[in-house]
Structure 1
Amino acid sequence: MNLTPPPLSLYVHVPWCVQKCPYCDFNSHALKGEIPQAEYIDALLEDLAQDRARYLADDNRPLHSIFIGGGTPSLIAPAQIARLLQGIQAQIPFAEDIEITMEANPGTLESAPILQYRQAGITRLSLGVQSFANDKLNLLGRIHQSDEAKVAIEQALKAGFNSVNVDLMHGLPSQTPAQALSDLDQLIALKPPHVSWYQLTIEPNTLFASKPPVLPDDDDLWDIYELGQKKLEAAGYQRYETSGFSQPGYQCKHNLNYWRFGDYLGIGCGAHGKISHADGAITRTVKVKHPKGYLDSGRDYLSQEIPVPVSERPFEFMMNRLRLIEPCPHRDYSERTGLNDDTIAVQLNQAKALGYIVDVTDSTGVDCWQVTDKGALFLNDLLELFLADEDDVDADSER
């Protein structure tokens, strides 16, 4: 089995927040004192060194993108972020056009630090705004107010980043369609190049799961979704994945690499990674979750190393790739999974019969699969078609 090495990215997790939001199921921990910033950066760089020795010994791929997520990475000082990026580059070369994203909370930023993060090497800032209505921000446990969010967006746009993303939620507790669309209008007026616009969902093991708020009904959610997409499109934003909208040329390279089943190392508390090997194997990794354990010098950073069986690769590939609006070249499936198209022929025929997928040829003449509007609407049903049966994929079909 042969795999074509995909682009290589790096995810860096910063686990601390000022406080835990009631909807958040990410690996984040409310502050209980000062963050051990220098110690944590040292640990991240050693974590990377171990991953590099373990997975990239004979691999010369440069880093395609870096994403510093959380938690709240903007709790880390710009000088420490600069040291982190310098340490990463000393271990793995950067592609000339590397994208380096950092998530930030408007409540932890001031105008000077925003510019300092750009000077530290961040090329793309992602601001977790979520709403411009103060009552909704309070319900969501956010530590910023609407005016602070708008100032942070304006300052970020002036600081010289290659791109700025704003996260905005809809379907918030007791939110009307008019309120949700007002949030969107205020965001569009600020003209960020990229918008992540997604519906609030109640996740297990969150405060909202134990004390569920009253959410809009299905009719209101549909109105918000349909009218909101039209607003974004009219303002020049192109939807390129499930909840990602960008002005032309401002798609998130890091997320595209995820959805195209690319490779990425994951360093930091609870970070996940996925690496393809020259022998055709694919490995997923998970790091130690809690900061105390992660910073224990006597413990390995790696918590789990999980091989991706051949039988699960069709679903893994499609679960990522079908988030994207763009057509999927047939060759991507074989290059990223090591499997021939006939390993999913039955599922593709079912998806086509249900109107979820059609065959298309892109502008360069390459044969592709394209998710239809119906397929995007019933994405979970579409993905279920590719779940592995009890029997493994026929080894004779491997490339």
Structure 2
Amino acid sequence: MPLTPPPLSLYIHTPWCVRKCPYCDFNSHERGELPEEAYLQALLVDLEQDLQLAGERPVETVFIGGGTPSLMSPAFYRELFAGIRARLPLSEHAEITLEANPGTTEAARFEGFREAGINRLSIGVQSFNNGHLQALGRIHDASAAVRAATQARAAGFDNLNLDIMHALPGQSQAQALSDLEQAIALQPTHLSWYELTIEPNTVFYRSPPQQPDGDSMADTEEAGFALLARHNYHRYEVSAFARPGLECRHNRNYWEFGDYLGIGAGAHSKLTKAADNAILRFQKTRKPEDYLADPAQSRRQLQPVTGADRSFEALLNGLRLTGGISLQVIADRTGVNTAEWEGLLGDLQYRGLIAMEQGHIKCTRTGLQHLNGVLETLANTL
């Protein structure tokens, strides 16, 4: 089947932070003074190398992640977006998100970020318990988190996400729910509430902390889901909750197998070339010093996504959405004939883990609870 080019997003990676957290497996590096001007020019050179791959589609969403992007100055972002607009069509209604950490921002910076065109802020709070923040290696305390959310609102960010973790070392269910209640009291439009997972190549992986047991985690999750629902936060993805109409458009594009162009050290891309019936993945040089040395040659590991990999990748992401993903969207964006799936996926349906209805495929409530098992089955089936 012919491919239909999906919506295009832009991801910008800023790789520096004040201190590396012991649970973090992202491409982030501790650094004092930041090479803002050099990195700005490198990002624009990087972008220019990929313009032909991106095509003429407008960019619908932008996400600036890290690292700690709020360490960069508002002037950096003003110049960066001027450079982006000179090279790429940016939708008039683009969602533009910046990740920020409490303790690395102040009111004047928030106002400057807003003036630079950033219209959505995502603040990495993680907890309002100072003991838990210390265990997580965070550089802020609870009062700084509250202050950051309040200042963001005052600066005009009416689209605001807060990141909150649970299953923290030594955390009780009451403490986890207290964190959630304090986050809700700040009235964000979006909440990311997710379990602390121990990833390879982290300090916690080498020296694992003592977390609550699996049954306690599951009980806390159910109580948290109920609390969020009572406050009108709709669960639309495994760990994402939003007020009506305020889901994260950028992340939703990932989950619906959309295209994204990544610039910056270690950034990943997935782009569709419909005329060639091709889907390409690649990433950029990870080490910031290597990236800065030669941004024009930063593209690495250019790989086509073919055959069953397209089906699996589309489902890997789409089944994270509580409403699932449209079979027509999968067909358009992968070229796969989804009519063949009914027989292949019959066992998962029989076991009550997935449902195919009204043109969508989705996990049932039970399926979402056992998502890793569902995906493992799919990997062996498709």
Q: With structure 2 as the length reference, what TM-score do the two structures score? A: 0.97
How far does residue 387 in structure 1 lie from its aligned partner after superposition? 1.4
d(CA) in 2 for partners of 1:133 and 1:264? Answer: 36
The match for 1:244 is 240
- More deviation in 204-213 or 346-355? 346-355
Unaligned 5+ residue runs, structure 2? none
How far does residue 94 in structure 1 lie from its aligned partner after superposition? 1.2
The match for 1:14 is 14
d(CA) in 1 for partners of 2:280 and 2:82? Answer: 27
Letter in 2 for 1:346: G
d(CA) in 1 for partners of 2:45 and 2:111? Answer: 28
String of CA shifts for 1:69-110, please: whole Å, max 9, x gaps.
000000100000111111111111111210000000111011
d(CA) in 1 for partners of 2:161 and 2:259? Answer: 23
How far does residue 343 in structure 1 lie from its aligned partner after superposition? 4.3
String of CA shifts for 1:333-361, please: whole Å, max 9, x gaps.
11011010144333321221111122322
The match for 1:341 is 338
How far does residue 206 in structure 1 lie from its aligned partner after superposition? 0.4
Does residue 262 in structure 1 map to residue 270 in structure 2? Answer: no
d(CA) in 1 for partners of 2:294 and 2:211? Answer: 45
Q: 1:136 aligns with which of 112, 132, 136?
A: 132
d(CA) in 2 for partners of 1:356 and 1:219? Answer: 20
The match for 1:229 is 225
d(CA) in 1 for partners of 2:18 and 2:344? Answer: 46
d(CA) in 1 for partners of 2:36 and 2:187? Answer: 33
Q: 2:114 aligns with which of 85, 110, 118?
A: 118
Unaligned 5+ residue runs, structure 1? 362-366, 394-399
3-state SS of 2:161 partner: strand
String of CA shifts for 1:256-276, please: whole Å, max 9, x gaps.
000000000011011000001
**Across the two proteins, how many residue pairs are aligned to each other?**
381
- More deviation in 155-164 or 137-146? 155-164
Letter in 2 for 1:380: N
3-state SS of 2:156 partner: coil
Percent identity reads: 50
The match for 1:42 is 41
3-state SS of 1:150 partner: helix
Q: 2:314 aligns with which of 303, 317, 322?
A: 317
How far does residue 224 in structure 1 lie from its aligned partner after superposition? 1.1
Letter in 1 for 2:318: R
- More deviation in 321-330 or 111-120? 321-330
Does residue 304 in structure 1 map to residue 296 in structure 2? Answer: no
The match for 1:364 is none
d(CA) in 1 for partners of 2:352 and 2:203? Answer: 39
Q: Is the 8 A contact 1:128 1:166 kept in 2?
A: yes
Q: 1:151 aligns with which of 124, 147, 159?
A: 147
The match for 2:375 is 383
Q: Is the 8 A contact 1:168 1:197 kept in 2?
A: yes
C-alpha change, 1:201 and 1:327, in structure 2 (3 Å) is: closer
- More deviation in 77-86 or 376-385? 376-385
Letter in 2 for 1:137: L
Q: 1:67 aligns with which of 46, 63, 68?
A: 63
Letter in 2 for 1:51: D
Q: 2:347 aligns with which of 346, 350, 370?
A: 350
Q: 1:285 aligns with which of 274, 282, 288?
A: 282
d(CA) in 2 for partners of 1:221 and 1:19? Answer: 28
- More deviation in 78-87 or 343-352? 343-352
The match for 1:106 is 102
C-alpha change, 1:162 and 1:347, in structure 2 (3 Å) is: farther
3-state SS of 1:106 partner: coil
d(CA) in 2 for partners of 1:244 and 1:309? Answer: 29
Note the aligned Cα RMSD (angstroms): 1.3
